[in-house]
Amino acid sequence: MTTRRTLTLALGAFALAPLAACSKKEEAAGASAAAPSGRKPNGVEAYGIASRGTGFTVGAMMAANTVYVFFDSTCPHCAELWKSSQPLLGKLKMVWMPIGLLRPQSGPQGAAILSAPDPVKAMNEHEASVLQRGGGISVPASLPDDVVQKVKDNTELFRQLQAESVPLIVYRNAGSGQHGMHAGAVDTATLAALAGV
């Protein structure tokens, strides 16, 4: 009972916090046309859609619960979420899926991270640069076509979710079993509450 109340209070308090997210209005307008039913997917449907994406996995590989994150390489709020997720990686499995949403270099940088020999190392380097207001990692002269396509496919899944901003966290709470989506960066405690860890 106390755990449920704490989770409810934590999530309720978070709902009052301002969103820290990046969006692109013209992309958001296109998102509503992507869902055939014209309605936003519920949490279970969103989790199913997100699970079809391609990304790189960090954290506890044997964790029963997976959190999916759609991110844009040019989004500083995505870099903040990357940083705040690090303390939870001993008990949480996360799949980070790059999309091309905000700027022309978003897709290529996402593909560069995804195709790197060590995507986690590339992401660490990239997000550290973004947080220091740098441009992120350099994009190689040529990227594998299949990886570029995977970033485009992730972007289409993001549109199917009718999301308007990144980072987009799609989760199933390990304690309650509740599925949901959250747009915007969160601190470590709020991410733990969403994921139920």
Tokens of 95: 């799949």
Q: What is residue 13's predicted lDDT score, i.e. its pLDDT?
A: 36
Across 112-118, average pLDDT: 98
- In the prediction, which pLDDT does 21 show? 77
Peptide bond into 76 cis (omega under 30): no
The highest-level CATH class for domain 2-195 is alpha beta
Break the chain into its structural domains and give their ranges.
2-195
CA gap 69, 97 in Å, rounded: 6
Q: Is the dihedral of CA 191, 167, 38, 17 positive or negative?
A: positive
Q: Mean pLDDT over residues 21-26, rounded?
A: 68
* Residue 105 DSSP SS3: coil
Q: Please determine, for residue 126, whether its predicted confidence score (pLDDT) is greater than 50.
A: yes
Provide the pLDDT confidence category of residue 23 given band limits of 50, 70 and 90. confident
Helix (H) or strand (E) holding 52: none
The per-type count for the chain, helices as H runs and strands as E runs, is: 8, 7
